[in-house]
Chain A
Amino acid sequence: MKVKTFLLILILWFSSNQTLFADEAKMKKGLEIFNETAACAACHILKAAGSEGNIGPNLDTVSMTIESVTDMVTNGLGVMPAFGEGEILTKEEIDIVSYYVVNAAGK
């Protein structure tokens, strides 16, 4: 019984760390897309990314969800390009940068 419990705890610990590593990797990749690949930083303030662009809204002041950011990044708005069109970003990259923005905003 004790062995079983120990194994269970070990599995849970291992899987939770896997998630943690995956999240951290996603945030790192998201930051890279934000600052470099997509150059979101050129137009938006996001303190966590060190960006000071002032064309679009300050992302630290906007209430948003991953869905709303994904929609915005994919389809654009006004001067903001539609990153989902013309293969500017892949769908995976859009998912990652949207996850990053929502989790980095306000921090």
Chain B
Amino acid sequence: MKKRLKKLNLSRRNFLTGTATLAGIAATASVVPITIANANHSEGKKGLPDFISWKDRDALIVHSDKGIETHRSAIGESLITPNRNIYIRNNMPTMTDEQIGNRMDWKVSIEGVKNPKTFTIAQLQKLGHETMATILQCSGNGRGFFKHKPRGSQWKTGAAACVLWTGVPMKTVVEACGGINSDAVYMTSAGVDHVPTGLDPNKAMIERSVPKKVFKDAMLAWEMNGVPVPNAHGGPLRMVTPGYFGINNVKHLGKVAFTSKESSVKYMKKSYRISPIGKKGSQYPSCWEMPVKSWITRPTDETGTVKAGKVQIVGVAMGGTKKVRSVKVSVDGGGSWKKAKFIGPNLGKYAWRQFVLETDLSACTYNIASLASNGSDKQPELRMENRRGYAHNGWKDHSVNITVV
């Protein structure tokens, strides 16, 4: 068939001729300097977009230029996930160095406190320093296991990472602002990565409210695994909400407000709601606290066949907002379970623990599963069916099949 191309005329007039409903997006898109908007998103040298060309292509599964997953076996065995292996899930285009400017001059305003203030990163660094480990996990991690094929990236296990953050505790910032206003119910964090796009903030701004109590362990982080927070991961300043799904860890942070109501933007009100299949709405729970979860990282079907004899089965386990207490491993698809041993240092309840079970396996095929508990909750066998494929922690889908020879 003869290819007929009609080249797009990226003029204001062209966009403004869109439908009335789309006029907002269209009009604003028309004023985006295209060279800037695309500066960091052309095809990278290694099949990765330019803005993350520094990542390890071999460790990653590319779903799209904005949805990139870590291979199950590339999580690593040193507890902390290296930046070059960490997944990417960005709702807005990653801000460029030009858009960010001098990192030390980046500003964040604190509102809903006795004395509202705006701090630069340089000023935050004079307030206090702390380092903590938390798990970053996309709300849809595990979506690829849902049979009804929910929209969005089909993540299996790799939209998750364990990260060391350095920054100032939110508690310290609140103290510097004279304390939280008495009517506050939520801590609401807003990113500014929508600003260069010119899109309607109500539709594009990543503004997320979480229960106020989260501030006690939250952090404004400027460093991630020993380097300034990369732009692709929300630098130069990111809100860290330990134990809460990735979306609440707002990137390119511009404002934190203690509010009496949840944010009314689309990303709070409509998106990231855990609703039954076929239903949607803000009456359903938001993607907030992560549930207890674990999975095997080695051996897997990615690591090839396994030699018969002693086999070390390794994985990661997280307790959500509580400390993970125990992990059991099954090599017969959940028929029987053995307690695994935690290894490596304990970096606190918000980090994951790695575990190992040494066992003897003869030549055969095995279904290996892990089941974690945080003392109050343990992983269910099956996924919780929901419209968008969020919060999957069922152990059965996360199991792996291996061949021992």
A42 & B38 in contact (Cβ 8 Å cutoff): no
Closest residue on chain A to residue B62 by CB atoms? A61
Task: Please name all residues of chain B whose beta carbon is closer than 8 Å to the beta carbon of A61 when the two chains form the complex.
Answer: 43, 62, 64-65
The 8 Å CB contact of A24, one of B1, B7, B21, B64, is B1
Q: A31-B4, A39-B26, A48-B5 are in contact. Are A54 and B19 (CB under 8 A)?
A: no
CA–CA, A60 and B49, complex, Å:
12
Count contacts between A and B, CB distance < 8 Å.
111
Q: Is B30 an interface residue (CB 8 A)?
A: yes
- In the complex, which residues of chain B have a beta carbon less than 8 angstroms from the beta carbon of A48? 3, 5
Q: State the CA gap A43–B30 with chains docked (Å).
A: 10
Q: How far is the CB of B89 from chain A (nearest CB, A)?
A: 11
> Contacts A38-B18, A55-B93; is A77 near B151 (CB within 8 Å)?
yes
B2: Cβ under 8 A from any A Cβ: yes
Interface of B is mostly: loop
| Chain A 77-95 near chain B by CB (<8 Å), digits 1 or 0 | 1110100001010000000
With a cutoff of 8 Å between Cβ atoms, the chain A residues found around residue B151 in the complex are 68, 71-72, 75, 77
User: Is the beta-carbon distance between B18 and A62 smaller than 8 angstroms?
Assistant: no
Contacts of A42 in B (CB 8 A): 15, 18, 25-26, 29-30
Instruction: Please name all residues of chain B whose beta carbon is closer than 8 Å to the beta carbon of A9 when the two chains form the complex.
Output: none
Report the separation of the CA atoms of residues A101 and B266 in the bound assembly, to the nearest whole angstrom.
26
**Does B14 lie at the interface of the complex (its beta carbon under 8 Å from any beta carbon of A)?**
yes
How near does chain A come to B367, taking the closest CB pair, in angstroms?
A: 27
Shortest CB-to-CB span from B1 to chain A, Å, is 6
Q: Which residues of B contact A63 (CB under 8 A)?
A: 63
Q: Which of B18, B64, B91, B197 contacts A39 (CB 8 A)?
A: B18
Which residue of chain A is the closest to B280 with respect to CB atoms?
A75
B25 — which chain A residues lie within 8 A by C-beta?
A: 39, 42-43, 81
Q: Which of A20, A50, A81, A88 contacts B5 (CB 8 A)?
A: A50
The interface bits of chain B over 139-178 (1 if a CB of A lies within 8 angstroms of the residue's CB, else 0) are 0000000000101100000000000000000000000000
**CB proximity to B under 8 Å, residues A38-57:** 38-39, 41-43, 45, 48-57
Task: Tell me if A27 is interfacial: C-beta within 8 Å of chain B.
Answer: yes
Residue numbers in A under 8 Å from B64 (CB-CB): 57-58, 61-62
The interface of chain A, by Cβ under 8 A from chain B, is: 20, 23-24, 27-28, 31-32, 35-39, 41-43, 45, 48-58, 61-63, 68, 71-72, 75, 77-79, 81, 86, 88, 107
The 3 closest A-B pairs by CB, nearest first: A42-B29, A57-B64, A39-B18
Other A-B pairs, 11, CB within 8 Å; known A20-B1, A50-B5 = A36-B18, A38-B19, A41-B8, A52-B38, A54-B41, A55-B197, A55-B204, A57-B64, A68-B151, A77-B151, A81-B21
